[in-house]
């Protein structure tokens, strides 16, 4: 596996591949890799001949009181994992490589990026949209793979890719879970042993709510409110949202028509957890 | 000359050229073509084997009380002009082709896009930045040519192209002027016969101010204020700005160091005129 740190070196490798007519999949990550990331790499390999993984902890998508400074990082371990997964190229730029001192451009996506995590984390999706656009235009891959765990992020990226006519196909990968149902996340490493026992309740509560909604389609709001309360009872400190939303517009719905997902973001002391799945 | 109206057809032609290894220059315009546009086409031809001209009156860069509805347009005449100039491809998309109903993405450039025309025309440069990014990513040309008459626009485009890592080289073309010095602009067609006699005073006043500044470097603000007053005396109804600015940051300067330009925007009844040149 080749490791490059500059946009110039990334492009050189990509150009070599392009000249031999090879297709390229990009998997952007913030490092601290787990099996969720590796499932995205596998999907990339199934679509394209070459895979690029990027590791960049993007400062502009973190809020002022968020965990930028403590975000988990183990570059040597990540490199080993990606080598074993037969990744062709690891791009690990510095913050200065991505944001030179005179950097001044921002991309925003109205509507769907202002709901849920967008409302709770102002500026987050602008940071995501801008850095993902940059990574796309640096590498110009054929496809890019993103996890459904961050479903709102996935849809924001789909929207901006279509809107800006970026010639990259967006593919999503299903959420990978621990045996107890907890969605894999780099931030799970923040959780204490006792919190790791509470954390899976997020998924089981989503499942229970989904079942109740299927049985009683007209009472979505009431069911979500009850589920939210039961998370607090289970030991979550607060719940940012527990909602059923249209998966394209990210707007709340009052009826299930076939394109809805159930979403939740909830806090333990160690970490804010998010999860979702299709109804 | 081929004429296409859809992004798909544009890309098909571009791909054919790419396969034969040909280089491509893009010249985005809003139509109502004049010799200023044609000079940009010539520059494009000197850099690349193929030239694409786009004609798209971009609604998102017009303010609510601006001239979107009356912006000059003569597609048949424009087509003749471009054919005669040996342009290879004219791309003339509809508003729906560029902005489908679910379009939600906006690009903004902090700092330099908030000065001068950006301060006077809120949202203008966001509209320009977004549509130019789209045209770049639709055509993916090697170079794109923009006129120095719209110098702030040129610098906003340079900034976003660098910031988003768009693989397009930006080239600028010098302002083309009438014999009397008036900078060519599609909006000059709004001017009455009497206004066409006042309009060249904009350039001659910029030249006088530039000479005075060269002679007395320390008194820039005072000289600009005097020049602004003399434009009002000459018959301009109002002056949005008459400033010396750093050509990279677009910030006002108090001393000439070698990278400054003098800028003016002033209103006649028929049209708002802008002009600038390097000091």
Are the C-beta atoms of residues A61 and A133 closer than 8 Å to each other? no
Residue A137 has its nearest CB partner, among B130, B159, B166, at B166
DSSP string, chain B: -EEE-SHHHHHHHHHHHHHTT--EEEEEE-SS--HHHHHHHHHHHHH-SEEEEEE---GGGS-TTSSTTT----HHHHHHHHHHTT-SEEE---HHHHS-TT--EEEEETTTTTSHHHHHSTTHHHHHHHHHHHHHHHH--SEEEEEGGGHHHHHHHHHHHHHTT---EEEEEPPPB-TTSPBP-GGGGG--HHHHHHTTHHHHHHHHHHHHHHH-GGGHHHHHHHHHHHHHHHT-SEEEEEEEEETTT--B-SS--SSEEEEEEEE-SS-EEEEEEE-
Q: Min CA distance, B116 vs chain A (Å)?
A: 17
Strand partners, A107: B107
Strand locations in B36-163 (E):
50-55, 89-91, 105-109, 143-147
Taking the C-alpha atoms of residue A109 and residue B45, their distance in angstroms, rounded to an integer, is: 36
Taking the C-alpha atoms of residue B267 and residue B272, their distance in angstroms, rounded to an integer, is: 4
Check CB contact under 8 Å for A165 and B109. no
Question: Tokens at residue B200, please?
Answer: 């060249």
Residues B194-203: contacts with CB under 8 Å, at least 24 apart: B195/B235, B195/B268, B195/B269, B195/B270, B195/B271, B198/B234, B198/B235, B198/B236, B198/B268, B199/B268, B199/B273, B201/B231, B201/B234, B201/B235, B201/B236, B202/B231, B202/B236, B202/B264, B202/B266, B202/B273, B202/B275, B203/B177, B203/B275
Taking the C-alpha atoms of residue A73 and residue A188, their distance in angstroms, rounded to an integer, is: 13
Q: What is the dihedral of CA B24, B30, B34, B35, to 10 degrees?
A: -30
Check CB contact under 8 Å for A167 and B137. yes
Residue A109 has its nearest CB partner, among B105, B112, B129, at B105
pLDDT band at A218 (very low <50, low <70, confident <90, very high): confident
pLDDT band at A6 (very low <50, low <70, confident <90, very high): very high
Rg from Cα positions in chain B:
19
- Percent of the residues in chain A that have a pLDDT greater than 90, as a whole number: 98
- Please give the mean pLDDT across all residues of chain A: 97
Please list every residue in chain B whose beta carbon sits closer than 8 Å to the beta carbon of residue A160: 105
Please list every residue in chain A whose beta carbon sits closer than 8 Å to the beta carbon of residue B107: 105-107, 164
Which among A4, A145, A111, A135 is positioned nearest to A61, based on CA atoms?
A135
Architecture of domain A186-272: 2-Layer Sandwich (3.30)
Q: What is the pLDDT of residue B217?
A: 81
Strand partners, A25: A51, A143
Domain B2-173: which CATH number of 3.40.50.1580, 3.40.50.620, 3.40.1350.10, 3.30.460.80: 3.40.50.620
B96 to chain A, any CB pair closer than 8 A? The answer is: no
Q: What is the pLDDT of residue A146?
A: 98
Q: What is the pLDDT of residue B3?
A: 98
Are the C-beta atoms of residues B242 and B227 closer than 8 Å to each other? yes
Q: Min CA distance, A149 vs chain B (Å)?
A: 23
Give residue-wise pLDDT tens across range A44-69: 999 999 999 999 999 999 999 999 99
Q: What is the pLDDT of residue B216?
A: 86
Taking the C-alpha atoms of residue A146 and residue A207, their distance in angstroms, rounded to an integer, is: 23
Q: Which residue carries 């032609």 as its tokens?
A: B13
Are the C-beta atoms of residues A73 and A31 closer than 8 Å to each other? yes
Is A20 strand, coil or helix? Answer: coil
Is B256 strand, coil or helix? Answer: coil
Q: What is the pLDDT of residue B77?
A: 98
Q: Min CA distance, A162 vs chain B (Å)?
A: 8
Please list every residue in chain A whose beta carbon sits closer than 8 Å to the beta carbon of residue B166: 137
Q: Which residue carries 């969720």 as its tokens?
A: A36
pLDDT at A80 over 90: yes
**Residues sharing a CB contact under 8 Å with residue A187, sequence separation 6 or more, in sequence order:** A67, A72, A271, A272, A273
DSSP classification of residue A64: T
* Domain covering B186-278, topology: 3.30.1300
Q: Classify burial at A201, counting beta carbons within 10 Å of its beta carbon; exposed 0-12, middle 13-18, buried 19 or more.
A: buried
B119 to chain A, any CB pair closer than 8 A? The answer is: no
B35 to chain A, any CB pair closer than 8 A? The answer is: no
pLDDT at A217 over 90: no
Residues 240-259 of B with CB under 8 A from A: none
Please list every residue in chain B whose beta carbon sits closer than 8 Å to the beta carbon of residue A105: 107-110, 129, 159-160, 163-164
- The sheet with strand B2-4 has its strands ordered as B2-4, B89-91, B50-55, B24-29, B143-147, B169-173
Check CB contact under 8 Å for A105 and B166. no
Strand pairing class (A50-55; A89-91): parallel
Check CB contact under 8 Å for A103 and B164. no
Strand pairing class (B272-278; B260-267): antiparallel
Q: What is the pLDDT of residue A249?
A: 93
Give residue-wise pLDDT tens across range A12-33: 999 999 999 999 999 999 999 9
Strand locations in B110-250 (E):
143-147, 169-173, 238-246
Q: What is the pLDDT of residue A264?
A: 98
Taking the C-alpha atoms of residue B266 and residue B273, their distance in angstroms, rounded to an integer, is: 5
Check CB contact under 8 Å for A167 and B107. no
Q: What is the pLDDT of residue B127?
A: 98
Residues 137-156 of A with CB under 8 A from B: 137-138, 140
Residue A107 has its nearest CB partner, among B102, B107, B159, at B107
What is the mean pLDDT for each group of 10 consecutive residues in chain B (279 residues)? 98 97 98 98 98 98 95 97 98 98 97 96 98 98 98 98 98 98 98 97 98 91 97 98 96 93 97 97
* Residue boundaries of the structural domains of chain A: 2-173, 186-272
pTM of structure: 0.97
**Segment holding A96, helix H or strand E:** helix A95-98
Residue in A with minimal Cα distance to B111 = A104
Taking the C-alpha atoms of residue A62 and residue B88, their distance in angstroms, rounded to an integer, is: 46
């Amino acid at each position: 596996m080749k490791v490059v740190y500059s946009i110039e070196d990334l492009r050189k490798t990509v150009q070599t591949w392009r000249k031999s007519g090879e297709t390229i999949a990009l998997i952007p990550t913030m490092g601290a890799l787990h099996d969720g990331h590796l499932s995205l790499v596998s999907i990339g390999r199934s679509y394209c001949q070459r895979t690029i993984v990027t590791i960049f902890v993007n400062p502009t998508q973190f809020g002022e009181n968020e965990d930028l400074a403590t975000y988990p990082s183990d570059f040597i371990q990540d490199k080993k994992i990606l080598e074993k997964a037969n990744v062709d190229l690891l791009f690990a730029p510095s913050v200065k490589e991505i944001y030179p001192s005179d950097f001044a451009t921002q991309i925003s996506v109205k509507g769907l990026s202002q709901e849920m995590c967008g409302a709770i984390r102002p500026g987050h999706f602008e940071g995501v949209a801008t850095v993902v656009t940059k990574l796309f235009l640096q590498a110009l891959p054929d496809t890019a793979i993103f996890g459904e765990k961050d479903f709102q992020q996935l849809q924001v990226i789909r929207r901006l890719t279509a809107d800006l006519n970026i010639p990259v196909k967006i593919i999503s990968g299903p959420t990978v879970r621990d045996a107890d149902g907890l969605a894999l996340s780099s931030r799970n490493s923040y959780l204490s042993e006792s919190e790791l026992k509470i954390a899976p309740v997020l998924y089981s509560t989503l499942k229970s709510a989904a079942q109740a909604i299927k049985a009683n389609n007209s009472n979505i709001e009431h069911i979500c409110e009850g589920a939210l309360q039961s998370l607090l009872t289970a030991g979550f400190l607060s719940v940012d949202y527990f909602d059923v939303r249209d998966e394209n517009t990210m707007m709340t719905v009052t009826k299930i028509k076939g394109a809805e997902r159930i979403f939740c973001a909830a806090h333990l002391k160690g970490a804010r957890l998010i999860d979702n799945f299709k109804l």
